[in-house]
Structure 1
Amino acid sequence: LQSSPQCCAVNVLGVASLPCTAPTVDLYSREDFARHCGQSGATAQCCVLPAVS
């Protein structure tokens, strides 16, 4: 499994968040992550995705 930072617009019942995009800047803290996502009205979330090999 991999953890991937994502900026997500809508959280559906705490299960699925859509649409999500990867941050477009380097992030150095949780505060940077939240601030970057918040600029577009999204929320900062870490999504766990299965690794594809």
Structure 2
Amino acid sequence: MTGKDSTGKPVSATLNRKSHGSLLKQDQPKVIISEEEYNLAIESIDKLMESGE
């Protein structure tokens, strides 16, 4: 994946396919349509941030 940082410099990220696949098994990307789904998504994101994934 390639992009630019806030200063416009090119950056790239490597994707760990095994880890990414595991995350997708746990939480499928989808449109959030309720406050309950939003809160569940935030909980999942918080757990990922704590684990460093």
Q: What's the TM-score, normalizing by structure 2?
A: 0.29
- Choose between structure 1 and 2: higher strand proportion: 1
- Choose between structure 1 and 2: higher helix proportion: 2
Task: State which structure, 1 or 2, has the greater radius of gyration over its C-alpha atoms.
Answer: 2
Q: What's the TM-score, normalizing by structure 1?
A: 0.29
Higher relative contact order (CA 8 A, sep 6+): 1
